[in-house]
Amino acid sequence: MSSATVGLTAAAATTADKAPGRRTGAEMIWEVLEQEGVDVVFGYPGGAIMPAYDALPKYAVRHVLVRHEQGAAHMADGYARASGRVGVAIATSGPGATNLVTGIATAMLDSIPCVFITGQVSSHLIGTDGFQETDVTGVTLPITKHNWLVTRAADVGPVLREAFVVARTGRPGPVLVDITKDAQQGSCDFDPADRRLARVPHGRPARGTSADAYERAAALIDVAERPLILAGHGIVQAGATAELMAFVERTGAPVASTLLGLGGFPATHPRALGMMGMHGEAWVNRAVQEADLLIALGMRFDDRVTGNLKTYAPRARKIHVDLDSSEIGKNVAVDIAIVDDVKRVLAALTPRCKPADRGPWIARIANEKGDAAVRDIQQLPDTGKLHAAHVIHDLWRLTEGRAVVVTDVGQHQMWEAQYYKHDHARGLVTSGGLGTMGFALPAAIGARFARPHDEVWVIAGDGGFQMTAAELSTCAQEGIKVNIAIINNGYLGMVRQWQEMFYGGRYVATPMRSPDFVKLAEAHGLTGFRVTKRSELAAVVAAARSAPGTVVIDFRVEQEDSVYPMVPSGADLGDMIRRPAPSVLVETAADSDEDEVPR
């Protein structure tokens, strides 16, 4: 049944009457979703949301039945990240809603626009500890941009419309609308042409940008000898890739990216340096520490990006552009703040800057890069064993860098960031801020619906994959194609790496026995492959890509490989643990690495 020809478009069963008239709350949920352009929702039914489900077949919204509500939340999130549109998930009250929580927090930390709809017990039961009653607006208050409890049918339409506006305007984020069962069952007059919101969003003053900020920023950029652009998620979210390119071409400044900023500037461009931070490239972190000007664009100086704040970028003046004024000065004091949409800011800033080349600075970084490349795993001899970095590098080559890659969290995620060269925005979908294991497979299902014509790859570890592996069943039922690369090292690899480096090599609770992933795929009616040598890789990847349905590839990689470079948590950014050079690799691998253990 899992044929690729099974369409991704909604079964257009739009039999509902669209004329003004009486509607139930349940009907208005779907009618408003249609009006908002929602083509797919991810969800799981249950008692308090059953009226809504009962009305669903009349509307042209496709419903994807998940296997756990966490999956629904990640799917909505993955859909939003891959498309830039608002993702929607729906669940019942109580456990249905609390199962969404991890996914909502994931979206919150990465500013992803999602609307979560939950059923709630009938309004007369609220506060009585009724069956499957949970204070969902209370539970999700700190992990949503805003939430609403709707207890009357008449409020369903206006509140849902407001929810979409809040989710996507300003700094985007997840919102939740909790709708009681009686509000779904009740009815009121509804005019589809009346698109009123529950209320007009309150005006927000433009604050935090001084009148001369642009002149001063341009002046700082013009005099800088070693400027460095820090490109964050804001570039992707604002759709500012063209503006960033123009800014780079004019100022000559090189670009370092945050994890979520990858793809916002083409990785293969000569001015692209790669990722910064804890597992950033050595030459990138050194450039940060040596720069005399940081131009931070839509990023928030996360602790994984800065390392020790006291010694962070000690020589650099700082310009910070962000849409959210509460980010200014939160972690790093800056010289100039510009609080606005980064696309608009760059369009206004670029023409004010003088054209420049920055030759000596670029040459200096290139020098560092040459040194680091010697240590790079790609330079290591192919011993016939499989390195995760080789797998990801080869996937990049074979997919010509064009796939939408959805990662889980851990070592493979960092290797992906280092070795899959993203030239396009929204080509990487990954949980950055919350670091949610189990994210990849469901988020990839969401990305699949968002990008029906693009190749979607999951790259996940054996640990994270098993957290939400039940969604394989969703892939099979929906007949969708996702290619899944499990980087299987038999450990919770990133924790194991920390144990090796900082906990005396005591591997507590990190060795992990997994099921036979090939058989697991087959049990779902899907295709499974196993790869143990690099020489087998290309043929298997080709077979996977041409197979009609979802494919699982179990890559059996080196068990105790580590991600390098690594800035230990809280250490100075320039203080990186490096991959041992090839000549000493043999001894170091077997021996303890005392000299590598940081203070």
Subset of 371-410 contacting other proteins (CB under 8 A): none
Give the binding range for other proteins (CB under 8 A) out of 204-212, 500-508, 554-562, 579-587. 204-212
Residue 348: both structure tokens together: 């206004």
Stretch that binds other proteins, among 143-151, 179-187, 235-243, 364-372 (CB under 8 A): 143-151
Question: Does position 118 bind other proteins by CB under 8 A?
Answer: no
- Other CB atoms within a 10 A radius of the CB of residue 21 amount to 11
Q: Does 221 bind other proteins (CB under 8 A)?
A: no
* Rama region for 570: left / alpha / beta (φ>0; ψ in -120 to 50; rest): left
Could you say which of 1, 12, 202, 504 contacts other proteins (CB under 8 A)?
202
CB of 520 to other proteins, least distance (A): 40
Among positions 468-497, residues that touch other proteins (CB under 8 A) are: none
Q: Are 261 and 138 in contact (CB under 8 A)?
A: no
Give the separation between CA 430 and CA 107, rounded to whole angstroms: 11
Among residues 25, 57, 60, which one has the least CA distance to residue 39? 60
Nearer to other proteins, 135 or 596 (CB): 135
In the annotation, is 354 catalytic? no
**Comparison of 162 and 182: residue with beta carbon closer to other proteins:** 162
**Residues linked to residue 527 through DSSP beta bridges, in sequence order:** 551
**Nearest-approach distance from CB 229 to other proteins, in angstroms:** 20
Of 146-175, which residues contact other proteins (CB under 8 A)? 146, 149, 166, 171
What are φ and ψ of residue 473, in 5° steps?
-65, -35
DSSP state of 401: T
Active site residue 558: no
Among 1, 37, 128, 204, binds other proteins (CB under 8 A): 204
Closer residue to other proteins (CB): 198 or 512: 198
Kindly state the number of chain residues that form the binding site for other proteins, as judged by CB under 8 A. 31
Identify the residue whose tokens are 């456990």.
95
Radius of gyration over alpha carbons of the chain, in Å? 25
Q: Which one from 31, 34, 36, 69 is the annotated catalytic residue?
A: 69
Q: Give how far Cα 442 sits from Cα of 41, 233, 596, Å.
A: 13, 21, 37
The phi and psi torsions of 209 (rounded to 5 degrees) equal -110, 120
Pair 419, 407: CB distance under 8 Å: no
Residue given tokens 């020589």 in the structure block: 315
Indicate the residue among 135 and 455 with the shorter CB distance to other proteins: 135
Least separation in angstroms between CB 447 and other proteins:
28
Which residue lies nearer to other proteins by CB, 276 or 313? 313
- Contact 161/133 with Cβ under 8 angstroms? no
Q: Cα dihedral sign for 117, 121, 123, 126?
A: negative
End-to-end CA distance of the chain: 57
Neighbours of 434 (CB within 10 A): 18
Q: How far is the CB of 326 from other proteins (least distance, A)?
A: 4
| 206 binding other proteins? (CB under 8 A) | no
582 binds other proteins (CB under 8 A): no
In sequence order, the β-bridge partners of residue 187 are 24
Q: Does 576 qualify as catalytic in the annotation?
A: no
The answer to whether 181 is a known catalytic residue is yes
Instruction: Find where tokens 């990465």 sit.
Output: 110
Which residues within the stretch 270-329 sit at the binding site for other proteins (CB under 8 A)?
Answer: 309-310, 312, 324-326, 328-329
Which residues in 337-376 are b (16+ Cβ under 10 Å) and which e? bbbbbbbebbeebbeebeebebeebbebbeebbeebeebb
Nearest CB to other proteins, comparing residues 158 and 186: 158
Stretch binding other proteins (CB under 8 A), from 138-146, 292-300, 377-385, 581-589: 138-146
Q: Look up tokens 């044929």; give the residue.
A: 3
Q: Which is nearer to other proteins, 175 or 526 (CB)?
A: 175
Nearer to other proteins, 142 or 504 (CB): 142
How far apart CA 554 and CA 551 sit, in angstroms, is 10
Q: What span, in angstroms and rounded, lies between the C-alpha atoms of 555 and 457?
A: 14
Q: Which of 19, 193, 200, 363 binds other proteins (CB under 8 A)?
A: 200
Which of 145, 481, 524, 534: binder of other proteins (CB under 8 A)? 145
In the range 326-355, which residues lie near other proteins by CB under 8 A? 326, 328-333
User: What whole-number distance in Å separates Cα of residue 269 and Cα of residue 401?
Assistant: 13
Task: Answer yes or no: 278 catalytic.
Answer: no
Contact call for residue 196 and other proteins (CB under 8 A): yes
If the CB atoms of residues 138 and 582 are measured against other proteins, the closer one turns out to be 138
* Binding residue for other proteins, selected from 208, 307, 427, 433, defined by CB under 8 A: 208
- Catalytic residue of the set 414, 494, 566, 576: 494
Query: Which positions are annotated as active-site residues?
Result: 69, 131-132, 181, 494
Interface with other proteins (CB under 8 A): 137-138, 141-142, 145-146, 149, 166, 171, 196, 199-205, 207-208, 309-310, 312, 324-326, 328-333
